[in-house]
Structure 1
Amino acid sequence: MKKPQVFVTRKLTDEVIAMLETVASVEQWTEEYPIPRELLLDRVEHVDAVLTMLTERVDEELLTKAKNLRIVANMAVGYDNIDLAACKRHGVVVTNTPDVLTEATADLAFALLMATGRRVTEANRFLLNGEWTSWSPMLLAGQNVYGATLGIIGMGRIGEAVARRARGFGMRILYHNRNRKHQAEEETGALLVGLETLLQESDYVVLLTPLTDETRLLMGDREFSLMKETSVFINVSRGGTVDEAALYRALVEKKIWAAGLDVFQIEPVPPDNPLLSLPNVVALPHIGSATLQTRVEMAKLAAANIVAVLSEKEPLSAL
């Protein structure tokens, strides 16, 4: 009997491909850049499974083309690149990779918080550019991290992990979430508050919500105007949750102190994005979960979901 077919949209480790080959014939796109849309539509026409990244849009067009498709395994915790309703109509299972990237992403969020608050990248450029000619008491002075108030918008797994790190820095922790997280409150002392209160009282605001219709452009002019002039905004969720023009205005008009961004509305971010021109912005290329160990675990979980579905078993992390 002919083996099922799997298409992998980016080059993964031999170990992951070997997992898939236990149940299917595997083809993968091996370039470092995303597969062109038309080529993707051609490749998925006869496949039973596709292992996708955030760069691939799974919509009605693709699902209509991929007549044999049984599962889309997204190698990410987010899935705003996938039309879940359309997948349901076509009887296609969708899975993601939760849990395995929680700690790595929380590490990055806290690193970005510290780098932004303490002006680490700005200081590095200052030194490398030969501008450090003498010591001065207020030279590149930033904001305290230890003992500051942290506001977390979106207290999911990653938010809870960030709160655990913040506790070690003696921070007062506020959070805004649809549901109260009793265990997180017990573990970290976090306090559930309204969004306005969080924005008004926090020294650091970390945005960790998924991108949904409710959270799209969640942070705009009004929200930034509520923050302290000394506060720092961190986004490690999705670029679409922030009005970038409003953030730029808030930074230029000194309504907030600085911003640390791992995500942008358009990715890769265009070099002429005005936010990149500001010295008080720390910008990263969407590397929240980018540790070698985590990316391998994400790929293995995505592959395991495909193996399960093609073996007529329940997937490990279905949406």
Structure 2
Amino acid sequence: MTTTRPHVIVDMSLHPHAMSALTASADVARLPGSGPERAAALAAADGILAYGPPPVEELEHADRLRAFAVHLAPEPSKWHAAEHGITVLESSRLWRTVAEHTLALLLATQRRVPAADAAIRDGRWPVEDLKVPFAGRDLADSTVGVLGAGRIGLHLLRMLGALDARTLFTDATAMPDVEHATGARQVPRDELLASSDVVVVLLPLDDSTRGSLGAEELALLRPGAVLINSARGPIVDEEAMLEALRSGRLAGAGLDVHGDEPLPADHPLLALDNVVITPHLGGSTLECDLELVEGLLEALGAPRA
């Protein structure tokens, strides 16, 4: 086990307490975005902490690299690591963490929490009866449809069931184990859209899903439905969603992901008080960050402060 402080490069946002834990036991630098400085930083790194590892063609020049800790590593990165004796650490908490944030978005949107908070701060209460414009809907006994029952969806369906929601899901393959584990029913996509009070998007982004929730699909939703997207912005046709929100077809939307990130200050979504927006932070918690930091330090044999 080494007795010197390892050199770690960071290519992600970290909770301040997680960053403190890292800097207490390692020398830390940010990974430059491009150019010779980036190549030099990778060549000097004992460890990497990132949302995902650098491309394999860059890892090939990271001669000192002994471990990387990431949210998710693609298969080529794992193959390279195995060939070069590099330890790969992937988050085990991430999927539940994103599911929790998705549930928070759902509840905040359905109960109109941010808009009610803003109204109070604007001095509208007790001058106005705010219970009328900001009355929400119960989650219990509502129907929530989840598009995509992967690792995040499985956690979310369990949470929703515990809160007495009726749950539906779709996926590309039959998933009887998910039905058994969560009590949710797997149904075709159009049936899910037509039957749900809340639709949650958890699909991967690829050529088959890009723009797959457009005007035609949103027209299938029940009037007053709520849309939640914690997957990728381009899966939903933004113009179609805006039209549905403005017309009232959608009662609200909770969005952690967007077509443009970060959103420009004049983006039309920001003018709608029935939209709850967060800055793609579904996986950003102290616990999720600490898991990566502590795992990386252990893999590097770093002396603890």
Tell me, yes or no, whether TM beats 0.5: yes
Q: Give the corresponding residue for 1:53.
A: 51
AA aligned opposite 1:103: R
Aligned residue in 1 for 2:68: 73
Q: Distance in 2 between matches of 1:188 and 1:59?
A: 37
* Contact map agreement 2:21 2:293 (CA 8 A) in 1: no
CA gap of 1:105–1:216, structure 2 versus 1, over 3 A, is: same
Contact 1:52 1:72 in 2 (8 A): no
Q: 2:19 aligns with which of 13, 36, 42?
A: 13
The one-letter code of the counterpart of 1:146 is A
Q: CA deviation at 1:130?
A: 1.4
In 1, the alpha carbon distance for the partners of 2:20 and 2:113 equals: 37
Q: Could you tell me the TM-score, scaled by structure 1's length?
A: 0.76
Could you say if the C-alpha distance between residues 7 and 139 of structure 1 is closer, same or farther in structure 2, counting changes exceeding 3 Å? closer
Residue 29 of structure 2 is matched in structure 1 by 28
CA 1:60/1:289 → structure 2, altered by over 3 Å: closer, same or farther? closer
Structure 2 match to 1:241: 235
1:251 positional shift: 1.4
Contact 2:198 2:225 in 1 (8 A): yes
CA offset digits 1:185-231 (Å, max 9, x no partner): 22321000111111111111111223334333332222222212211
Question: Which residue in 2 is equivalent to 1:166?
Answer: 160
Query: Is 1:75–1:302's contact at 8 Å kept on the other side of the alignment?
Result: no
The one of 106, 112, 120 equivalent to 1:113 is: 106
Question: Equivalent residues in 2 for 1:66-215 (5 A)?
Answer: 66=61, 68=63, 73=68, 75-77=70-72, 95=88, 97-132=90-125, 133-135=127-129, 138-215=132-209
- Per the TM alignment, residue 157 of structure 1 is displaced from its structure 2 partner at its CA by 2.2
* Percent of aligned pairs sharing the same letter: 30
User: What is the CA-CA distance between 1:289 and the residue it aligns to?
Assistant: 2.6
* Aligned equivalents of 2:89, 2:198: Cα separation in 1: 29
Give the AA of the match of 1:124: D
Aligned letter for 1:180?
A
Q: Distance in 2 between matches of 1:199 and 1:41?
A: 47
Q: Distance in 2 between matches of 1:5 and 1:241?
A: 38
Deviations 1:125-145 (A, max 9, x none): 111111231337633222231
What amino acid maps onto 1:28 in structure 2? A
Displacement of 1:170 after TM fit? 1.6
What is the CA distance between 1:155 and its match in structure 2? 0.9
Contact 1:97 1:302 in 2 (8 A): no
Count of matched residue positions in the alignment of Structure 1 and Structure 2: 290
Contact 1:63 1:87 in 2 (8 A): no
Amino acid in structure 2 at the alignment position of 1:224? L
Q: Aligned AA for 1:36?
A: G
CA deviations over 1:225-256 (Å, ceiling 9, x no partner): 22122111111122333332332222123331
- Distance in structure 1 (CA, Å) of the matches to 2:66 and 2:271: 42
Separation in 1, partners of 2:161, 2:77: 42
Label 1:70 to 1:211 Cα distance change in 2 as closer, same or farther (>3 A).
farther
- 8 Å Cα contact 1:113/1:260 also seen in 2: yes
Match of 2:250 among 242, 246, 256: 256
Q: TM-score, normalised by structure 2?
A: 0.79
Alpha-carbon distance in structure 1 between the residues aligned to 2:67 and 2:259? 24
Q: CA deviation at 1:307?
A: 4.3
Looking at structure 1, the residues matched to 259 and 273 of structure 2 have their Cα atoms a distance apart, in angstroms, of: 20
For the 8 Å contact 2:262–2:279, the answer to whether it is kept is yes
Q: Note the aligned Cα RMSD (angstroms).
A: 3.3
Distance 1:50 1:153 in 2: 33
User: For structure 1, which runs of at least 5 residues remain unmatched after alignment?
Assistant: 309-319
- In structure 2, the residue matched to 1:311 is none
2:9 is aligned with what amino acid?
Answer: F
**2:34 corresponds to which letter in structure 1?**
R
- Post-superposition offset of 1:148: 0.3
